[in-house]
Amino acid sequence: MTTTSTHAASLTDLLKWTPEGEGKTRQRSQLIILRRPDDVTRELPCVLVYNFLPALLARDLLTDLLRETPTWHRRKWYLFDRQVTSPHTSASSVATEPQEPHNGGGFYFGGSKVRVRPYLPTMVEARRLIEAKVNCVLAERSRNPLESRDPWQGNKTIANCYNGSAEGVGWHGDRLTYIGPFATIASLSLGVTRQFRIRRFPGVQAQRDPLASPGMSRVFGIDLPHNALLLMLPSMQEEYQHSVPRYTPIDPHPLSGNIRINLTFRYSRPDYSADHTPHCHCGVPCELRAVTKQEATLGRYYYMCETDAVHGQGKCSFFQWMDSGVTGSLPPPP
């Protein structure tokens, strides 16, 4: 485990735009490099497995995805009252086997329905192995009351392609919409090695990280090589943000060159489908979020409108606490 001190890049820096008038001071950060799976598990709600898939399956899956990436797209949304474009391409896929749980109403992003693709045969093979690993890990830990009691299923995947060192993604947490509270996300890296960075949300850090100094954020860096599987366990999405910073890869991958493809398998829960999600005044399913700033309601879940993310028309006034009967759902600190 290696520790350095640096300045945390802002969201606009990592995503390559700078809104006029934004001159915020960057928060200082302490970069801690986690090199061993044991270090990752000790510091974060994550499990890291190197060389997860059989080598031939990992190669075939990467080959299939490289063939598909020209048809992937860059998402567009509004930030600081201006439209921005994702610095990497992505695509959404769902499993289509007859026994899959029904996700009524489809999937939405920013108020617009998302086009989804069926799983490739190699994705189906990878999914089977990933599900077995995730369920083995989950069986060894206690469950939060808001977690699904069903066996974990990787029935929805968001794929991201980072084509070269200039493409990355800024600090964010994965959307809870459709996957629900205390979700597990299995992230499979293919192609060139890129660094994955993780830090606590600032409001959560102030309450939960006694090792962080005032004004200093602890940032964990994990180099994810080809065929590395990172399991992000509960409460990763409620407490932490992650990013893929821009940098120049040292060693191009023999098959993908400087391209990294990331598959994030997640369990799209039937009880959190669009049919079971409150609709805002705009008439579309709401986004599910967790409070990450206010101490009094830290960790509580709520629904809100997200239509301006794509259309830039401004959010409607809809707001609703999730009817869970739980306030401050984050688990107590260890």
DSSP bridge partners of 82: 79
Per-residue pLDDT, 328: 36
Could you say which residues of the chain have pLDDT below 70? 1-27, 77-83, 97-106, 108-113, 203, 205-215, 249, 307-315, 324-334
CATH homologous superfamily of 29-272 equals Alpha-ketoglutarate-dependent dioxygenase AlkB-like (2.60.120.590)
Tell me the pLDDT tens digit for each residue of 144-193: 899 998 999 999 999 999 999 989 998 988 989 889 999 999 999 999 99
Q: What is the pLDDT of residue 331?
A: 40
**What is this structure's pTM?**
0.83
Q: What's the pLDDT score for residue 206? A: 56
- CATH 2.60.120.590 residue window(s) in the chain: 29-272
